[in-house]
Amino acid sequence: MARSRTSEPASSQQRPGRAVWAGRILFITCLLLVAIALGYFSHYFLTNAERQLAIAQYASLTNRALTEIQAALHQKRVSLISMSTFASEINPSAKDWPFVSIDNYVQIAKDFLDATGGKSLGIAPLVKPEHVPDFEAFATELYHRDFGNATPAMIWATDNEGKSNRRHHDVTGNTTWGSPNQVLFPHLQISSGYHAALLNNLHSDPDKGARLDDMIQCSKDKQRRNETDNLRKCAVNTKLVFP
């Protein structure tokens, strides 16, 4: 009689060996490592690309900004030198200074500013302390003629010590920041016309005063070397902020 075959128990079926499990684990581990490596290098290259792009954009923007700033400073310097040259040409005698002014100054300054792209322009002659009373009388007559203001003109400076910012009558030319030059540079005429900044002594301000001292020293050096035809190179730019 033929014997019937019976199925073997499940426990007796062949199970995967240790080598197979080790291979599977190794394969999964390799996949994880590859995924980590791909993620790391992708992040690195993308971050580096973004950084390089940001640097390139920053350099482009700053270079363009610096170019525009340099052009603006050049235009400002041209307008300053042009106006000072114009003032000296119509007042060629040194003995007339500082009692000089430019008729119809507001319109003339506006024309200068339109041509150079500037925003404000003023004249501030050098005044020695002994000339202050006569200069203030000259300014009073000028403002009465041009603006109809009969208020006595007064050279003034701001008390930069503390937070009061109070104005005081400046007649000595002394500074609180240690300038070697005892002089005044009152703002006699301004492109905006009758303005609160008129007769403000620019030399009393540390920033403007230091630049004006540089101009004075440059002029003295050139005069000592008999280079008076190059005095325009002594021109300086200062921040012009009306109080």
Residue 154 is predicted with a pLDDT of 93
Query: Cα-Cα-Cα-Cα dihedral of 106, 109, 111, 116, to 10°?
Result: -150
> Quick check: pTM over 0.75?
no
Q: Residue 243: its pLDDT value, please?
A: 40
Structure confidence at residue 73 (pLDDT): 67
pLDDT at 200: 92
User: What is the per-residue pLDDT for 12?
Assistant: 46
Identify the pLDDT of residue 203.
92
pLDDT reported for residue 242: 42
**pLDDT tens across the length of the chain (243 residues):** 445 555 555 544 555 577 778 888 888 888 888 888 888 888 888 888 888 888 888 888 888 877 877 776 676 767 777 777 778 778 778 888 999 998 888 888 888 787 776 777 888 899 999 999 999 999 999 999 989 887 889 999 987 554 556 788 999 988 888 899 999 999 999 888 888 889 999 999 888 899 899 988 888 888 888 876 666 677 776 654 444
Three-state SS string across the chain, please? CCCCCCCCCHHHCCCCCHHHHHHHHHHHHHHHHHHHHHHHHHHHHHHHHHHHHHHHHHHHHHHHHHHHHHHHHHHHHHHHHHHHHHHHHHCCCHHHCCCCCCCCHHHHHHHHHHHHCCCCCEECCCECHHHHHHHHHHHHHHHHHHHCCCCCCCCEEECCCCCCCCEEECCCCCCCCCCCCCCECECCEECCCCCCCCCEEHHHCHHHHHHHHHHHHHHHHHHHCCCHHHHHHHCCCCCCCCC
Ranges of each domain in the chain? 61-234
